[in-house]
Amino acid sequence: MKKPLRLTDSQSDEITIDSNKAVAIARKFLEQYHSSIIFKSAYNDKKTWMVSMEVGLLDDDVIEVAIDAKTGKILGYSH
């Protein structure tokens, strides 16, 4: 019988969410509260995607959403 594979520490830290998926997660989250959403930028700092979106029709309010690069969970957001 084969033993189940175990991830080593280095493998378990791998990024599984790409930039397109991170932007889609952020957009879906922000669509709950805003009707107009424009993608501005996305960058990864090894464990977290930071996605910036411009929201609102009249105000140019930029919201940055932090997304776990491994799980895709939203960690937080800021204006």
Asked, for residue 17, whether it belongs to a domain, the answer is no
Domain membership of residue 70 as a residue range = 37-79
Count of structural domains within the chain: 1
Condensed to tens digits (0 to 9), the pLDDT of residues 6-62 reads: 444 444 566 789 999 999 999 999 999 998 999 999 999 989 999 999 998 877 799
The pLDDT value given to residue 10: 44
Residue with tokens 């009249």: 58
Q: What is the DSSP code string of 7-38?
A: --HHHHT---S-HHHHHHHHHHHHTTT-S-EE
Asked, for residue 71, whether it belongs to a domain, the answer is yes
The pLDDT value given to residue 57: 82
Asked, for residue 27, whether it belongs to a domain, the answer is no
Residue 21 tokens read as: 């998926």
Residue 69 tokens read as: 């690069």
Asked, for residue 56, whether it belongs to a domain, the answer is yes
Asked, for residue 6, whether it belongs to a domain, the answer is no
